[in-house]
A and B are shown apart, each in its own frame.
Chain A
Amino acid sequence: MTGRPATPDAVRLLSFEAEGRLFMRLRATLAWETIRSMFADSRLRLSLVVLLSGLFWAALYGLFLEAFSFLDALHAEVISLLFNAFFSSLMVMLVFSTGILVYSGMYCSTEAKLLLTLPARPETILSHTFREAMWFSSWGFVLLGSPMLTAYGVVRHSAWPYFVLLLPFMISFVFIPAAIGSICCMLLVAWMPRLRVHALSIGVATVCIAAIWLGWSMVSQSRIDAMSAAWFERTFARLAVTEQKLFPSWWLSSGLIEAARTERDGSVAGLALGEALKFLALLVAHAIMLQFLAGWVARITYRRGYSQLAGEVPARRRRPLGWFDRSLSHAGFAAGRPLRLLIVKDLQLFRRDISQWSQFVIFFGLLGLYFFNLRSFNYNNAYASMIGYLNLAVVGLILSTFTTRFVYPMISLEGRRFWILGLLPVHRDQIVWSKFLFSFVGGLIPCCSLVFLSDSMLGMPWRLIGQHELCCVMLCMGLSGIAVGLGARMPDLRESSPSKISSGFGGTLSLVLSSLFIMAVVVLAAVPTHLFIVSRAFGPTYVSPHGILAWAGGPWGNAVSLVLVVALGLAATFIPLGLGLRSFRRLEA
């Protein structure tokens, strides 16, 4: 044994600045590598994301341009109300989303486990996690807010300072709710580790109830009032609750409105610009102060909170739906039991994976809320039919995101556990069929219910409801077939992360094919129905007296379109499934 100095000479604690720079370098290297591998491995997906984001931005810009032109003529003060309502709701959402992301980054990740065993300051770990969380939670705000605010500046003929100040305004604003979310998260974990889920649930439930109440109170007025001046007046009176001068959302909207002002000759309005800069300074000052506060909270609570959370005893799992699983396993013939057992297993995994069912509930719940409020508006038959088909397309698109994100990776994930299934008396085909039935039946119930709700609210006749339900069944079947079939055709047996599996080439192809399939089904069914309704309402010569349009708008045209929808649905189901089954039978795990 030789004597060693208590602290090796070559080792020292870093200064706060040096530690910050080191983590910035780490973040930059990780971001660069992620982008590089996206370019190398997921070019199709990246191109699609860029293209669709561009289209989405352009569409939003056009929409807001129209809306602001209309509102500008109607009443300029309305803009302030709308900005306040928009930014205050975004503020609340950013508080929750950043809080949740900071929680998973600082308390549940393997990275936190590594960093806590190094001589890193808790406040540096927070700011490292915070940057990522803020980016993930606020990109939606940038994508939604930038076309809106650009369109506003264009409509108001704003001078250049407005456009230059847009980004600083948006960035300084998002820092505030993001910091509040982080602080709440750390305090909740440190002081109420056992109650964090309850506290979060209560918070989310309160915000949801408030949003539903506000939304409901705006759309639940009588049908005659809808979109009239009185309707607007009442709606804006209700929105005034978001116009609080102590809210950062008010500082942001007031600052932007001031920055957008110009002199009569179109030049920069000096006084208004000064006001705008005052609001920007207010936002920046609060953002910096909250950053310091968050750092201080991290310093005193992070390590203790992490330790407390790690010391929690998980609640004993209850099985409230055990009876259902048992009944499903034993129902039917003995020959089909392996198939049913596989479905029950997937059902149990789905129920216990909060990320799956929570997204399912949120998206379909929001859609249900929207459909439930459709009755507030008056529609003529042709318009209602179009809205009905658009709603059908939305239901299909949401289902396609679930089938791509959760159903497509199922076979790949099963591949990793192939040794278990390989030792059981189960035919490989049954594994694929079980995934298909799980996805098809699981999607069918909520989707058909939503389409029925939408059609009922729109006052659709039974014949059209039947048509929509038929299309919905075909969509559920086809989307499940595409996801399961391609998942079995292109499994990624080495990957354990479902999100990485679904973001690869096969997952992207599944999403693209699903979108094309939905469009084809909706267009095939909607066009003849629309022509049929229009020709009924305005006479057969209104559309076209002869030719394909006249035929398509007739009863035969409608019948053929439905046959084509069924044929397309069957093709989308059985072609990918057939390819998948053949490939999966030959798979060497």
Chain B
Amino acid sequence: MIEFDHVTRTYGPKTAVSDLTLAIPRGELFALLGPNGAGKTTTIRMLVGLLHPSRGAVRVCGHDLVKDSRAAHLHLGYVPDEPCLYDKLTGREFLWFIADMFGMPGRHAGERIDREIEHFELGEFADDLAESYSLGMKQRLVFAASLLHDPDVLVLDEPMVGLDPRSVRIVKDLLAARTREGMTVFMSTHTLAMAEEMADRVGIMVRGQLRFLGTVAELRDQMALETTTLEHLYLELTSPRSPAS
């Protein structure tokens, strides 16, 4: 579903992502972890087509994000770290715009919009202008919009920021259900507990390089630690004193 093929991205003299090769199959929830400035956001931006790799290729469902971006976007849903909405559209109007953008036929789109409004409990404010929404409401609306077309790949950049505990639970349940149905989730997060609870595999990036790729159990094996949490493993791996970093 998602392929990073020897991807490098530079900012002037600085290498933000270095020779990243990664494949994530259908139905997997993958969590990308790493300290600030590790290259997680750059990786996500390349995956959604906002940035082009300096070298290598990123593919979604076999479509290259640079050469065939429209076809690739058809399979993608994206929840950015800061919600991008039109202040002068209501939540429902925004959802209709997204549904139309993906060419969803009217009746079908209407049903999906109602479904997502119900899932994310947007009913009370769906017909208010987005400018009156709180951060959490905006984030829930963006989640609803990203899932509207049942994407094959959902990309989440710090998805839980601004969400209240109830909304976090809704999102977690939804992600679990959708991945069971075959949706692939690529998530960047600092919330290690969530990654530990939900991710099939984790990747840990340090200074642009993927230092670890595998399950939490594999990470424990690699670090030769038996009972510790992901937080301990993560801190150990990303510590400046760590031999791995």
Q: Which residues of A contact B (CB under 8 A)?
A: 1-4, 6-8, 10-14, 18, 22, 26, 29-30, 33-34, 37, 110-111, 113-114, 116-121, 303-304, 306-308, 310-313
- How far is B11's CA from A312's CA once the two chains are assembled, in angstroms? 6
- How far is B52's CA from A7's CA once the two chains are assembled, in angstroms? 23
- B152 engages A114 (CB within 8 Å): no
CB distance from A499 to the nearest CB of B (A): 13
- A8 engages B70 (CB within 8 Å): no
CB distance from A1 to the nearest CB of B (A): 4
- How far is B66's CA from A114's CA once the two chains are assembled, in angstroms? 17
Given contacts A37-B129, A311-B11, 20 further A-B contacts (CB under 8 A): A1-B180, A1-B182, A4-B152, A6-B61, A8-B149, A8-B150, A10-B149, A10-B150, A11-B149, A12-B74, A29-B93, A33-B88, A117-B48, A117-B73, A118-B101, A119-B74, A303-B66, A311-B10, A311-B12, A311-B54
B50's partner among A26, A113, A313 (CB-CB below 8 A) is A113
- How far is B98's CA from A10's CA once the two chains are assembled, in angstroms? 13
Known pairs A116-B50, A118-B101, A307-B50; A1 contacts B89 (CB<8 A): no
Q: Which of A11, A13, A30, A113 has the most CB of B within 10 A?
A: A11
- Chain A residues lying within 8 Å of B97, measured Cβ to Cβ, are 22, 26
B51's partner among A34, A118, A307 (CB-CB below 8 A) is A307
Q: Which residues of B contact A (CB under 8 A)?
A: 9-14, 26-27, 45, 48-52, 54, 61-62, 66, 69-71, 73-76, 78, 80, 82, 84-86, 88-89, 93, 97-98, 100-105, 108, 112, 129, 149-150, 152, 179-183
Chosen A-B contacts, 16 in total, with CB atoms closer than 8 Å, are A6-B152, A7-B75, A8-B149, A8-B150, A10-B104, A10-B108, A11-B149, A13-B71, A13-B103, A14-B100, A33-B89, A113-B50, A119-B69, A303-B52, A303-B66, A313-B11
Q: Which residue of B lies closest to A22 (CB)?
A: B100
- How far is B89's CA from A311's CA once the two chains are assembled, in angstroms? 31
- How far is B93's CA from A11's CA once the two chains are assembled, in angstroms? 18
- How far is B150's CA from A462's CA once the two chains are assembled, in angstroms? 78
- Chain B residues lying within 8 Å of A113, measured Cβ to Cβ, are 50, 80, 84
- Chain B residues lying within 8 Å of A8, measured Cβ to Cβ, are 149-150, 152
Q: Which residue of B lies closest to A37 (CB)?
A: B88
CB distance from A136 to the nearest CB of B (A): 16
Q: Which residue of B lies closest to A109 (CB)?
A: B84
The 7 closest A-B pairs by CB, nearest first: A4-B182, A33-B88, A313-B12, A12-B103, A114-B84, A119-B73, A307-B52
- B78 engages A117 (CB within 8 Å): yes
- Chain A residues lying within 8 Å of B112, measured Cβ to Cβ, are 10
- A1 engages B50 (CB within 8 Å): no
Known pairs A4-B181, A8-B150; A311 contacts B100 (CB<8 A): no
- B74 engages A13 (CB within 8 Å): yes
- Chain A residues lying within 8 Å of B88, measured Cβ to Cβ, are 29-30, 33-34, 37
- Chain B residues lying within 8 Å of A2, measured Cβ to Cβ, are 180-182
- A4 engages B183 (CB within 8 Å): yes
- How far is B48's CA from A121's CA once the two chains are assembled, in angstroms? 15
- Chain A residues lying within 8 Å of B152, measured Cβ to Cβ, are 4, 6-8
